[in-house]
Amino acid sequence: EHFFAQRKVMAGKKVLVTAGGTVERVDPVRYLTNDSSGKMGFAIAEAARDMGAQVTVIAARAFALPPSGVTVVRVESAEEMLQAVTDRFESSDVVIKSAAVADYRPVIKLDQKLKKTGDKLVLELEKTTDILESLGRVKSTQFLVGFAAETQQVEYYAMDKLRRKNCDLIVANDVAQEGAGFHGDTNIVQIFDQNGLAASWPLLSKNEVAVRLMSLIAERLETRPE
């Protein structure tokens, strides 16, 4: 809590944030997932809350506690996240997709534990729905923010995702860099909009990245032509 009064620049705004990594089950005790900690998404939710927004977090598997004072909806798979986000999209003003959503899920989802059989096992995977892309397709007045985790050609891939998924901003991080990405409490991000690079921040705590990101979004909302 700061000793000075924070300007409630997001008062009256509904902010939807996704966080964590989805879990894609093979059987009742086994699943595919990723290294997402959920920390970036929770930090964004907290920053939005502090700016006076009404915040809902759609949280998949995470290794941190969500902030207090926000609505938390727990989900497991990409499919469940798609449903939870789609249900709330129309009534949201700002949607920030910081979750690490599985690109593929097992074709099979067994009700019983898979038994050990031959020397080799091939697990067949199928593509999940790209949630961000599906939101981009039905977007009207919502301010849509995506993330891009890259290990090479960050600008090229970030701009491709921004256009393909019809986002207002893309938060790109080079996850190969020390101090950036899934692990830890820090991140190094670049922000892209339709015109290209909008901001490039040094190594910062995820909390500081979240505050700067929400400030940038608030500014964009204020100066938006409408």
**DSSP-assigned states of every residue in 3-14:** SSPPP-TTTT-E
Q: Please tell me whether residue 87 binds Ca ion under the rule CB under 5 A.
A: no
**Helix, strand, coil distribution of the chain in percent, nearest 5:** 25, 30, 45
114 is written with which tokens? 């898979």
Q: How far is the CB of 84 from ligand CTP (least distance, A)?
A: 12
Selected range binding ligand CTP among 28-36, 37-45, 123-131, 211-219, rule: CB under 6 A: 123-131
Q: What is the chain's alpha carbon radius of gyration, rounded to the nearest angstrom?
A: 18
| 39 is an interface residue for ligand CTP by CB under 6 A | no
Tell whether residue 90 is a contact of Ca ion (CB under 5 A).
Answer: no
Taking CB under 6 A as the rule, which mask of x and - marks residues 124-153 in contact with ligand CTP? ----x-xxx-------------xxxx----
Residue 117: exposure state from Cβ atoms within 10 A (0-12, 13-18, ≥19):
exposed
Q: Which stretch binds ligand CTP (CB under 6 A): 23-31, 35-43, 96-104, 211-219?
A: 96-104
Footprint (CB under 6 A) of ligand CTP, residues 162-201? none
Judge whether 154 and 174 are in contact, CB under 8 Å. Answer: yes
Q: Is 209 in the site for ligand CTP (CB under 6 A)?
A: no
Residue whose pair of structure tokens reads 């989805």 in the numeric block: 22
Single out the residue of 35, 87, 90, 103 in contact with Ca ion (rule: CB under 5 A). 103
What is the Cα–Cα distance from 22 to 75, expressed in whole angstroms?
A: 8
Cα–Cα distance for residue pair 57/45, rounded to 1 Å: 7
The correct pick among 13, 49, 105, 161 for binding ligand CTP (CB under 6 A) is 161
Which partner in Ca ion, ligand CTP, none is near 147 (CB below 5 to 8 A by kind)? ligand CTP
Q: How far apart are CA 24 and CA 121, in angstroms?
A: 18
User: Is 34 among the catalytic positions?
Assistant: yes
Q: How many residues bind Ca ion (CB under 5 A)?
A: 1
Contacting residues toward ligand CTP, per CB under 6 A: 78, 97, 99, 101, 103, 128, 130-132, 146-149, 161
Residues lying near Ca ion in the complex (CB under 5 A) are found at: 103
